[in-house]
Amino acid sequence: MLAIREAARSMGPGALSESGLRDHVFPLFSRVLERGRESGEIYLANHSLGRPMDAVEADVREGLGYWYDHLGNAWDAWMPEHDAHRARIAAVIGCGRADCVVPKTSAAQGLRAVLNAIPGEGPISVVSTRGEFDSIDSVLKMHHHRGRARVAWAEPDERGRFEADDLVRAIGDLPSGAGPKLVVVSAVYFVTGQVVEGLDRVIAAAHERGAIVVVDAYHAAGAVPMSFDDLGADFMIGGNYKYTRGGPGACWLCIHPRHLREAGTPGAADLATTDTGWFALADPFSYSRTDEPRLAAGGDAWLEATPPVLAYYQARAGLELTLALGIERLRAYNLRQQTMLTDALRAHGIGPLDDKPRGAFVPIATADGPAAVAALRARGVDADARPCPSGSRWVVRFCPDVLTTSDELARAAEIIASVLGPG
């Protein structure tokens, strides 16, 4: 962690520069950069799987070391890391209380914890969109299928976008009675990269209708500056697989502090999840039992069973780097890289999906995504494609990160133009 902080300090306080990154940050990624040199591949799939820092292996070894050296007492070292992990994620998403963040192994697990926390009789009336990630989509569909939810799906416009006004209209169609209601939307859409402008209005409309809101921030956290506290959503879900380069299994659910309570037994009208376990108890290590569940105070009431502690070591370096470099500066650098790429592509007659605010990747429409991705790979560009939520088109996604050089972007533009260009 010291090396990460020292590298960030050496870069100085101003905007991130390629030369500064090369001198101070690239050395923290010697393994993936060596792989890149050997393969000659230009990695532009950072929106999918973030590239790991060298430190990840030593960090996981550290976590394992406590097990080897201390056996059952390893928990004395593991629990502070669990809490430090929550604090890092809180800092990334602009949440003032670390205990609001509850580690999960997937974003879907976070959504399920919310679905079964909502009080009230009968199926939950849900508004969501056709643009949510497959994992979220399938959890909602399964709940609908089993009669536990009635999901109304907001359709995209012809460009595959979900505008705040349309979402507000869909929320207006939720039943007006007292039944349980939920809205599930993304902050940044995973196929098109659309940043949902006016998300605060969507949240306000949901609250007016008596619905709680889950925001999927997987494509925003660590890439786009945000304030969970100011946004006012009831819950946020996300993970470290992408922009904070923390690998699989290190996801989270964040709960707005207004839903946190004193220690004790939740009331019938409280948001209290049945995805629970002994770590959610007020005093787990007393092993005492009561007839009613006696939950911990604050966000700890949302913890579950024995946590997968090694994931916190695995995610540590990437979160530390994100925080040390600063999300504002990372965002500004990424936007400059996107402009470099789109300017070069435009010279070849290729434009991105649109010019509206987008997350960290450049989306380009094509008729056959898998064929485009295979052709790009064959020429040394690693990207991916997803079906567009509207129509039969695909979107190929290209995401540079701090390791992507301007030379790589220029070369990638030539290759992308040869595969996706008009000629």
Ligand X SMILES: Cc1ncc(COP(=O)(O)O)c(C=O)c1O
Smallest gap from Cβ 216 to ligand X, in A, equals: 5
107 lies in the site for ligand X, by CB under 6 A: yes
- The residue (of 66 and 398) whose beta carbon lies closer to ligand X is 398
- By residue count, the chain amounts to 423
Strand partners, 264: 295
Smallest gap from Cβ 7 to ligand X, in A, equals: 28
Identify which range of 151-159, 215-223, 298-306, 397-405 contacts ligand X by CB under 6 A: 215-223
Smallest gap from Cβ 363 to ligand X, in A, equals: 13
How many residues bind to ligand X according to rule CB under 6 A?
A: 13
User: And the tokens for 174?
Assistant: 């939720």
- The residue (of 66 and 133) whose beta carbon lies closer to ligand X is 133
Nearest to 420 by CA among 359, 357, 344: 344
Nearest to 350 by CA among 366, 373, 372: 366
Smallest gap from Cβ 219 to ligand X, in A, equals: 5
**Contact criterion met (CB below 8 Å) for 51 and 32:** yes
Please report, as residue ranges, which positions from 128 to 187 form the binding site for ligand X (by CB under 6 A).
Answer: 133, 135-136, 186
Stretch 60-99: interaction string toward ligand X, x if CB under 6 A: ----------------------------------------
- The residue (of 249 and 400) whose beta carbon lies closer to ligand X is 249
Identify which range of 67-75, 101-109, 194-202, 394-402 contacts ligand X by CB under 6 A: 101-109
Smallest gap from Cβ 384 to ligand X, in A, equals: 10
How far, CA to CA in Å, does 133 sit from each of 193, 198, 237?
Answer: 12, 20, 12
Smallest gap from Cβ 133 to ligand X, in A, equals: 3
Identify which range of 13-21, 63-71, 105-113, 347-355 contacts ligand X by CB under 6 A: 105-113
Per-residue burial over 244-272, b if 16 or more Cβ lie within 10 Å, else e, is bbbbebbbbbbbbeebbbeeeebeeeebb
190 lies in the site for ligand X, by CB under 6 A: yes
Torsion 405-21-192-142 (CA) sign: positive
- The residue (of 331 and 379) whose beta carbon lies closer to ligand X is 331
Among positions 219, 245, 256, 316, the unique one binding ligand X when judged by CB under 6 A: 219
102 lies in the site for ligand X, by CB under 6 A: no
- The residue (of 66 and 243) whose beta carbon lies closer to ligand X is 243
The binding site for ligand X (CB under 6 A) comprises 106-108, 133, 135-136, 186, 190, 216, 218-219, 239, 251
